[in-house]
């Protein structure tokens, strides 16, 4: 296991201005055409991000050159696979400034990480009448696992409401903390409203009330500097595929003493120290939580993605994406008649803009945009309760990443004008 992470976290790196046009050359898919012969205008990065060449090559390199299993073989190729896999742990720890790589548990995605905590920590710490505080803006991944837990344990869920401006109602949060919840779980950045929550403040308030804190960082790690030590969280989860890495990769960070005390989630090979016919004992952390052969190439690709993000600098990524969102919030209402935008002002949000055109279903919007090569998401974006809160059946969503350029937002505005024209003919 590698040493304590001592390098400067990305959040303290000197911000350098990001050049998106130069970065675009790193993403081979951006040079492709769709079936209508149009260049790709990818505005669905909140669903999954595009992958740079270094990530593609890292995955390919493993499959071509050293595709051995990890933590088993003692021949050179297997040792190389193990080393590469474990290097990812160091890189990911550095990206979020985790105190030690052994606090990084590899999972397939943020959903699996939350389920791991709900099953392992939750089933041993939540009992009858205990409450968990969530928010109305959670992705289903940070809602349904807690529903299952409290149903089984006869506990309660409480919800921090979302204001009309798309922010969390902090005075209600404060009141809910008087219930002395065991856990507070909230998203760092909303995948529908784009809201960047004040995670440090929310965490401090929860700790003062005696609760542990789980933060869903699926939409944060790819877009804003994340420093888990500065935030002070107990659990922090994210997916590799949204942060320029491959599908099938992801991470749970948790404080070592929590992981040490938690029982295993899945059982089988690799997570044990000793096995007898009637009992076993567990491997050290993080391996206790990594049963069976993982998606080795995907995790290695996630390491390359972490390198890529750190080479850009997360302050620069955040600043650039905020510029994009400011531009979109300015251009879309001016250029697209009747468009309704949801979510807070640019200074409180990441690169996500959800919207509706009056009287036009978002699925029709997305389908017509597709003909112009523009990819947006349409539906409830796995946030049905949040859509209910705003009395919406569905929305269309444009979401950005470091490779998005303002010209693509102009193309979106032009595409939306076409949609309005087609429907008003």
Ligand X SMILES: Cc1ncc(COP(=O)(O)O)c(C=O)c1O
Query: Would you say 333 and 341 are in contact if contact means Cβ atoms under 8 Å apart?
Result: yes
Helix H, strand E, coil C: the string for 165-181 is CCCECHHHHHHHHCCCC
Quote the least distance from Cβ 413 to ligand X, whole Å. Answer: 25
C-beta of 302 vs 332, nearer to ligand X? 302
E-strand stretches of 164-286: 183-187, 212-216, 235-239, 250-254, 272-275, 280-282
**Between 111 and 297, whose beta carbon lies closer to ligand X?**
111
Distance, in Å, from the CA atom of 415 to the CA atom of 339, rounded to the nearest integer, reads 13
Shortest separation between residue 96's beta carbon and ligand X, angstroms:
16
Catalytic, 375? Answer: no
Does 354 interact with ligand X (rule: CB under 6 A)?
no
Restricted to residues 238-267, the positions that interact with ligand X (CB under 6 A) are 239
- Work out which of 94, 100, 139, 387 binds ligand X, going by CB under 6 A: 139
Between 203 and 283, name the residue whose CB sits nearer to ligand X: 203
Kindly state the helix (H) or strand (E) to which residue 157 belongs, with its residue range.
strand 156-160
Candidate list 157, 267, 382, 392, residue with the active-site label: 382
Give the contacts of 22 (CB within 8 A, at least 6 positions apart).
none
143 in contact with ligand X (CB under 6 A): no
Closer residue to ligand X in complex, CB, 111/135: 111
CB distance 229 to 95 below 8 Å: no
Judged by CB under 6 A, the chain residues 35 through 64 that form the site for ligand X are: 46
Give the footprint of ligand X on residues 290-319 (CB under 6 A). none
**Closer of 66 and 253 to ligand X (Cβ):** 253
In angstroms, the CA 208 to CA 172 distance is 16
User: Is the CB of 9 or the CB of 350 nearer to ligand X?
Assistant: 350
Distance CA 99, CA 93 (A): 7
Q: In what order do the strands lie in the sheet with 395-399?
A: 340-342, 352-356, 395-399, 377-379
Q: Which of 210, 220, 219, 215 is nearest to 231 (CA)?
A: 215
Name the minimum Å distance from CB 141 to ligand X. Answer: 4
Total residues contacting ligand X by CB under 6 A comes to 14
- Please select the residue that binds ligand X; options are 219, 299, 399, 404, rule is CB under 6 A: 219
- Contacts of ligand X in 379-398 (CB under 6 A): 382
**Binding track over 87-116 against ligand X, x by CB under 6 A:** ----------------------xxx-----
Q: Give the Cα separation of 228 and 255 in Å (integer).
A: 10
Structure tokens at 327: 């531009």
Closest contact distance (angstroms) between CB of 378 and ligand X is 14
424 to each of 311, 337, 357, 368, how far by Cα in Å?
47, 12, 12, 14
Q: Which positions ≥6 away from 383 have C-beta within 8 Å?
A: 137, 138, 139, 140, 190, 191, 192
Q: Which of 49, 82, 115, 191 binds ligand X (CB under 6 A)?
A: 191
Chosen residue from 87, 103, 216, 315 binding ligand X by CB under 6 A? 216
Closest distance of CB 299 from ligand X, Å: 14
Q: Which residues are catalytic?
A: 382
Residue numbers of the site for ligand X (CB under 6 A)? Answer: 46, 109-111, 139, 141-142, 187, 191, 216, 218-219, 239, 382
């Amino acid at each position: 296991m590698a040493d304590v992470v001592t390098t400067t976290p990305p959040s303290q790196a000197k911000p350098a201005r990001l050049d998106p046009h130069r970065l675009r050359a790193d993403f081979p898919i951006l040079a492709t055409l769709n079936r209508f012969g149009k260049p790709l205008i990818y505005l669905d990065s909140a669903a999954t991000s595009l992958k740079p060449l270094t990530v593609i090559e890292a995955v390919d390199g493993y499959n071509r050159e050293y595709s051995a299993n990890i933590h088993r073989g003692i021949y050179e190729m297997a040792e190389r696979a193990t080393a590469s896999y474990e290097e990812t742990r160091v890189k990911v720890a550095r990206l979020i400034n985790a105190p030690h790589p052994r606090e990084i548990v590899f999972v397939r995605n943020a959903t699996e990480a939350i389920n791991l905590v709900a099953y392992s920590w939750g089933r041993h710490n939540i009992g009858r009448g205990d409450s968990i505080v969530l928010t109305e803006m959670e992705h289903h991944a940070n809602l349904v696992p807690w529903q299952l837990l409290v149903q089984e344990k006869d506990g309660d869920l409480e919800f921090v409401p979302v204001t009309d401006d798309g922010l969390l109602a902090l005075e209600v949060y404060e009141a809910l903390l008087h219930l002395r919840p065991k856990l507070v779980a909230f998203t760092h950045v909303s995948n529908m409203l784009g809201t960047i929550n004040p995670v440090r403040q929310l965490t401090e308030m929860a700790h003062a009330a005696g609760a542990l804190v789980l933060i869903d960082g699926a939409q944060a790690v790819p877009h804003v500097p994340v420093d888990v030590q500065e935030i002070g969280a107990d659990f922090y989860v994210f997916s590799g595929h949204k942060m320029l890495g491959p599908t099938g990769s992801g991470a749970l960070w948790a404080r070592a003493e929590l992981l040490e005390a938690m029982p295993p989630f899945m059982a089988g090979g690799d997570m044990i120290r000793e096995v007898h016919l009637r009992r076993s004992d567990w491997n050290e952390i993080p391996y206790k939580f990594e049963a069976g052969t993982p998606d080795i190439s995907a995790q290695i690709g996630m390491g390359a993605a972490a390198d890529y993000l750190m080479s850009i600098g997360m302050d620069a990524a955040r600043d650039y994406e905020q510029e994009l969102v400011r531009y979109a919030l300015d251009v879309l209402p001016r250029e697209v008649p009747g468009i309704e935008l949801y979510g807070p002002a640019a200074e409180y949000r990441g690169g996500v803009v959800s919207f509706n055109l009056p009287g036009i279903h978002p699925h029709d919007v997305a389908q017509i945009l597709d003909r112009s090569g523009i990819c947006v998401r349409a539906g409830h974006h796995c946030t049905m309760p949040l859509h209910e809160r705003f009395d919406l059946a569905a929305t269309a969503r444009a979401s950005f990443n470091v490779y998005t350029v303002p010209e693509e937002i102009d193309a979106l505005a032009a595409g939306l004008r076409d949609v309005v024209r087609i429907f008003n003919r």
